Amino acid sequence: MKKRLLTAICIALSSTTVWADKQPKVLLIGLDGVQYEQLLEASTPNLDTLDIQLGFTGGIQGTNTEQATYSGPSWSTILTGTWANKHGVYNNSDRIANPNIPSLFKVLSDQQLSVATLVNWANPIRDYFTYDLPLMDFAYYSDTKHETLDHYRIQDEKLSHMFGRVLERHSPDFTFVHLDHVDDIGHELGLGAEYSQGIEALDAYIGTMTQALSQRINEDWLIIVTTDHGRSPKDGGKSHGEQSRQERSIWIAANRPLRKTGDSSSTEASLADIAPTVYDFLGVDTASLDLDGRSLLLK
């Protein structure tokens, strides 16, 4: 019995060592404008394998961190771990983020970690964080106006397949993928059957990307999937930008359990907690960073 117990302990320790030696990497997938309630109603077998929780965007209401629930401020919060009073992007038309507040791309690059980005809405990379483009090992953004909603979907599908090729050629430590066509369905048609079908298409693209990771057995991947904002209750979900519960509500999904609360000022996690979570997983010291969020990793 003692011999069997010793053998079991040795096997367990060996397995732990192998796991600990795996290289940590992060895939952050952003699904633009996917409302939480609509996500729960759609058929999403790939997202269903992840741990999903409700969170918020829009800053802390009634404080100087409060920001509009537009895509520009929200993606900038995701990519910096701060609200607009620090990162400086208050609406979609702002051209550049505050260079004194470093993005994930800048912080990770300074740590000699490789970064890649593939986005279907160009603004975050082309405009807000354009000064980080030279730091990226691979960067692609769609800079063309799509003629139809299906063109947006085709571009999302293209990016999901492109991710696998980027993995093979560049093996980035951090990759940000942004998919956009469901937000465009929402703006044009509102919530409804087409919107739900769009979510289900996104789920298939997530499956394409996670399948690309399945053979990389020497790497320990943290997968985070999130959205930037909800949708307005006033017009059937065609708009967003205000502070209603429906517009402030976002969700965060991951391939491991995360804490349900972010900083101490809220009972929910927020978009500001995503960058600190990435830093924590990759072992980056954040003491010198003026972050508004905190890591959601369970210790």
Give the domains, in start order, of the chain with CATH numbers. Answer: 24-281 (3.40.720.10)
**Is residue 217 left, alpha or beta, with left meaning phi > 0 and alpha meaning psi from -120 to 50?**
alpha
Q: In the chain, what percentage of residues exceed pLDDT 70?
A: 91
Q: In the chain, what percentage of residues exceed pLDDT 90?
A: 86
- Per residue in 71-108, pLDDT (tens digit) is 999 999 999 999 999 999 999 999 999 999 999 999 99
This prediction has a pTM of 0.92
Nearest to 44 by CA among 183, 218, 170, 182: 182
Q: For residues 167-196, give the mean pLDDT.
A: 98
Q: Is the pLDDT of residue 234 over 60?
A: yes
Q: Which two tokens stand for residue 29?
A: 């997938």
Residue 234 CA to residue 208 CA, distance in Å, equals 35
Give the pLDDT band (50/70/90) at residue 142. confident
Chain centroid, CA 33 distance in Å: 12
Give me the chain's average pLDDT, please.
92
Residue 15: the pLDDT is 40
Residue 265: the pLDDT is 59
Residue 263 CA to residue 273 CA, distance in Å, equals 8
Q: How is residue 193 annotated by DSSP?
A: H
Residue 187 CA to residue 241 CA, distance in Å, equals 12
CA dihedral angle for residue 163, residue 164, residue 166, residue 168, rounded to 10 degrees: 160
Greater pLDDT, 183 or 14: 183
Residue 258 CA to residue 269 CA, distance in Å, equals 9
Q: Is the pLDDT of residue 274 over 90?
A: yes
Greater pLDDT, 192 or 14: 192
Q: Is the pLDDT of residue 3 over 90?
A: no
Most distant CA atoms of the chain, gap in Å: 70
Give the pLDDT band (50/70/90) at residue 299. confident
- Per residue in 24-69, pLDDT (tens digit) is 999 999 999 999 999 999 999 999 999 999 999 999 999 999 999 9
